[in-house]
Amino acid sequence: MPGFATANDASQALEANSQELTAIPGVVGTAVGRSTNDEDYVVHIFVRSEEDVDPTERAAARTLGESRSEVIVSGELTAFDS
């Protein structure tokens, strides 16, 4: 299954599945963006460490479908007010 055809499609999928995705152990954030092959849009899932990648990829595939997400090791994320 390819990624999403539009950013809007990916955003709708993220919105519908946000709670499930952020409940995966090790996940620190989510976003929508272009895939690494730059052909489609995907849900980016940010995780704390390399150990979180495989379990997150498996859980995200069950939730969103194969190839519709990319897991990125980011470490902890902190939001700042501007």
79 part of a folded domain? no
Rounded to two decimals, what is the model's pTM? 0.89
80 part of a folded domain? no
37 part of a folded domain? yes
2 part of a folded domain? no
- Candidates 10, 1, 72; CA nearest to 41 is 10
Residue type at 50?
A: E
For residue 37, give the CATH number of its domain: 3.30.300
From CA 82, how far away is CA 71, in angstroms rounded? 27
16-68 confidence digits (pLDDT tens): 999 999 999 999 999 999 998 878 999 999 999 999 999 999 999 999 987 79
Cα 58–chain centre separation = 12
Its domain, for residue 50, covers: 7-73
Work out how many domains the chain is built from and give that number: 1
